[in-house]
Each structure stands twice: as C-alpha cells, then as structure tokens.
Amino acid sequence: MKSDKKLIIERIKNILYSGKPVLKSDTIFLIDIFKKHPSFKLSLEVDSIEVGKDIFGFNTNCFYINYKDNTRDDISYLKAINGIDENEELDKLVRNTIMDIISDFRDSIKKKRKYICAISKKQFNPKIDKFHVIYNKPTLLEIANEYIKKVGIDNINVGVTEKTYKLKKYNIECILNDDFIEFFNKRANPQICLSGYNGSFYKKMKKKYI
C-alpha cells in the first residue's frame, strides 16, 4: 500500500505532466501543499497556478504561482513536501546571480558550427542542436563555498534576483554582489552538455556536473 506522501507526489506529477490547464480543484490541492514552501507568499492571495518550462533551459515542467498582486514565482513541489535543502538553495542563488553570464556563454557557443559534449564526448552543431551549460571542477556549490570561506560569514553577499533569500546554514542575507561575480568569473569552468543527456544518464550525473 502506498504511503500518503507517495500518493501526494503521484497526484502532483499527474497534474504537472497532464498537458492541460490546472483545474480549480487541483489548484486548491496544490496551494495547500505549496504553503509549506519557504518562498510561498502567505500574505498574498493566489490568482492561479500554471505549468510551464523551467527558466534554466533544461526543458522540464515546473509549477508557476500567479499572485493577485501580478507577481509570478516558480515553485518546487518537492521542496514544499520535503523541506528546504540548503545546498540546493545556494546553488539556485548562484544560478540566479550568473544568469547573464550563462546566457552570454550560450550565445558565444551558438556561433560555432562544431562543439564536443562534455559528458558524451559526441560532436554536435550548436547552431542546430539544443544544449545546456554545466559547471564541473569546480561546481557552482564549490565556487560559492570558496567565496564564503574567503570573505567570511559576516560579509557574504551572494547575488540573487528580485527576491532576497536567507540561508539558515550561514544565517545571512544574500543580495546581489559584484565582488562575487568577479570571483566567479576567475574560478568558473563552463562546459557544454547536449540536451539529449537530460534523461536518465544526465540525471545520474547532475549532482556531479552541476
């Protein structure tokens, strides 16, 4: 017999991958789950919940909450169910900070006719084939933790978007910081991965490469 948690996740996945607009009954169900998410805006009324593609280019489905104040946020149902993962939060923080850097790097790769996938070692055409930007040796988390160690907990400012996140692990407020971006550019080693590897093999390698 399935546990309550497994049944909840199964229902959420059915909504996420149905290919249909989120029904009113499902919206009420999802709001009850999402209220446990650390980024859910309890003070605002939800207008609707939609399914869309993720902002990082992995072409995966995710939920978006439309609030009645005309703001819109993506939200992780697993984080709402399982609680906050501080490493995942820090990783997201860094990704939000370097979004322009990733975009510029992708644009530079798209100008090439040939490139080698960092995982499969297969040659592909960036002008035609879809691909992801990955970071390995060091990973995004390793760079962030190096920076935290370098500047000290009291001075840490790892940049994010319009939101301000608080990481319990460091007990600090994280805001946009040009010093971190400069540090990141010196340490980062961006690589390219074919989109075909966002399947089972890519998921196995995700923790290692991203």
Question: Domain range spanning residue 42?
Answer: 4-82
pTM passes above 0.85 = no
Shared domain for 97 and 152, answered yes or no, is yes
* β strands within the chain, DSSP E: 46-53, 61-67, 72-75, 115-116, 123-124, 131-135, 165-167, 172-174, 190-194
Length in residues, the chain: 210
Please indicate, yes or no, whether residues 99 and 114 belong to a single structural domain of this protein.
Answer: yes
Residue 208's pLDDT band (cuts 50, 70, 90): very low
Contact 11, 23 (CB under 8 A): no
Q: Where is the domain boundary, 82, 112, 141?
A: 82
The answer, yes or no, to whether residue 3 has pLDDT greater than 80, is no
Q: Per the structure, how many domains does the chain have?
A: 2
pLDDT digits (tens, 9 = 90+) for 46-58: 999 999 987 766 6
Helix (H, G, I), strand (E, B) or coil at 80: helix
Q: What's the pLDDT tens digit per position in 18-46? A: 989 999 999 999 999 998 887 788 888 99
- Neighbour-count burial of 2, counting CB atoms closer than 10 A to its CB (0-12 exposed, 13-18 middle, 19+ buried): exposed
State whether 101 and 204 are in the same domain.
yes
The two three-digit tokens of residue 193, written as one number: 């991965």
